[in-house]
Amino acid sequence: MDKPIDRITIGHMIRKKRKELRLTLDDIADEYVSASTVSNLERGIPNVALEKIAYVAKKLDLELTDLPSVLKKIDRREERTISKLKKLMTTADLAAPDEALKRIKELKVDEFSPYYALFLYLKGRCHLQKRNLSRAEGLFSDVLRLLEKDDFFSKNNVKAFCYYDLGRLFYYKNDLEIALAHTLRGIKSYDPDQEGERLIHSLMVSKAIYLEKLDRYEEARRTIDELWKDINSIKNIFVLLNMYETKALILKKQKMYHEAIELVYGGIEIARVNKMTERSFELWNTLGSIYLELQELDEAEECILTALDFKKKIEKEHLIIGAYTLLGRIHMMQGRWDESEKDLLEAVRIGAKTNNAKRFGWALITLGDLYQANEKYSKGVENYQKAAEIAKLHGFKTLQHISLLELSKCWKYVDNSEFTKSLENLFEIEVKLHQERSFL
């Protein structure tokens, strides 16, 4: 009975019985056992004497002589519970969250089960898959409060999983700072001795992605390099492809173009072999953006058109914004103005109805650049203003700086007073960027 699993299960039984009798810890405590001792007993802490366990059990009319048979029943029930929850996690992740949610609601997991937190977490994960973000956030918060109150429920790395999915949730809400903060908490709370050993790779690559999108390239590079040490043990194809793409973007930013190109081709091959259409689409766009910076416009155009060959198979429509934005930029640089405008209007149209603020902002800026290049300054103002508002709302300081700079150039030809105001706004964001650079 003194094995850790027995203590945990006995504590579970005692806790359940106490709750059924509507007794508090103080109700059980007396001169022989304190409330903290009862709490430790219920959580399976090994330093509680067996005599005190027997004493508390007797106070609750639990016979320890019945424990062997009771333990077997509880073990079998909990084994069935965790088996069902693992199956439902698979169902939820393989694009059937409605079915998973239905089965979760049918599954009876009481609040005394050691897997109750995992049960609540899976409900939240299903809602996240369905993009019911408020409901998902509420359930994840419930899980974290439960774990904070009692580590009895801390199994299967559920806390780290919660923070990982909260990171994803705030990424979908275009709040990269909070997404990063939750991901860092997930990394900190990850326990390598619990199940979910591959979760750490997902957390690390998410950290790198959010840092890269926040223009914190050196930190992103260090994170990817650290993760790259484990590349041969990483089995998750999504993680691998995100590693390839994120590292390529960082290398591009650092003007290490040929290394970036080699890396992207490696990722494209992995995506092709594994028939990962959306990841392949993104990688071809990344490759096109690298050739664009190298001024190899024909090669860049071929990459984007290759991606658009399988546009109809892309379910996440926001991914298409970047392809049309890049194609519009390429056509602009080639002097193909009408084609460029058509591409960029399509990028803006998709951006306006999807939920990816950064891609939408870049599409607006690029359309503004087209109008500015053709001396259509009023139209340029319209697009730069929208981009600046989006950037300010979501804290995209680099995007905001570029929007305000280009907006000022257009206002100079349209309205002198607005030109002055725009320069003041530009100065303010420049100061903020300088302050951030000073602390790096």
**Which pLDDT belongs to residue 346?**
97
> pLDDT at residue 336 above 90?
yes
**Which pLDDT belongs to residue 11?**
81
**Which pLDDT belongs to residue 134?**
95
Tokens of 1: 């009975």
**Which pLDDT belongs to residue 3?**
43
Task: Find out whether 104 and 124 touch, Cβ atoms under 8 Å.
Answer: no
pLDDT in tens, 31-53: 999 999 998 888 777 778 878 88
Mean pLDDT lowest for which of 67-76, 120-129, 148-157, 242-251? Answer: 67-76
Confidence of residue 88 (pLDDT cuts 50, 70, 90): confident
**Which pLDDT belongs to residue 291?**
97
Task: State the DSSP code for 125.
Answer: H
Nearest Cα to Cα of residue 347 among 369, 374, 372: 369
Helical segments of 130-231, H only: 133-149, 158-172, 176-189, 199-213, 217-228
**Which pLDDT belongs to residue 4?**
44
423 vs 404: CA distance, rounded Å: 8
Phi/psi region, residue 190 (left: phi>0; alpha: psi -120 to 50; beta: rest), is beta
Tokens of 121: 């977490």
Q: How many CA atoms lie within 13 A of 14 on its CB side?
A: 28
**Which pLDDT belongs to residue 73?**
61
> pLDDT at residue 439 above 80?
no
Mean pLDDT lowest for which of 23-32, 111-120, 382-391, 395-404? Answer: 111-120
Q: What angle do CA 178, 183, 187 make, to 5 degrees?
A: 150
pLDDT in tens, 109-149: 767 677 788 888 989 999 998 889 999 999 999 999 988 87
Neighbouring CB atoms inside 10 A of 383's CB total 25
**Which pLDDT belongs to residue 293?**
96
201 vs 230: CA distance, rounded Å: 9
Q: Give the chain's mean pLDDT.
A: 88
337 vs 340: CA distance, rounded Å: 5
> pLDDT at residue 5 above 60?
no
All domains of the chain in start order, with CATH: 4-62 (1.10.260.40)
Element (DSSP H or E) covering residue 364: helix 357-373
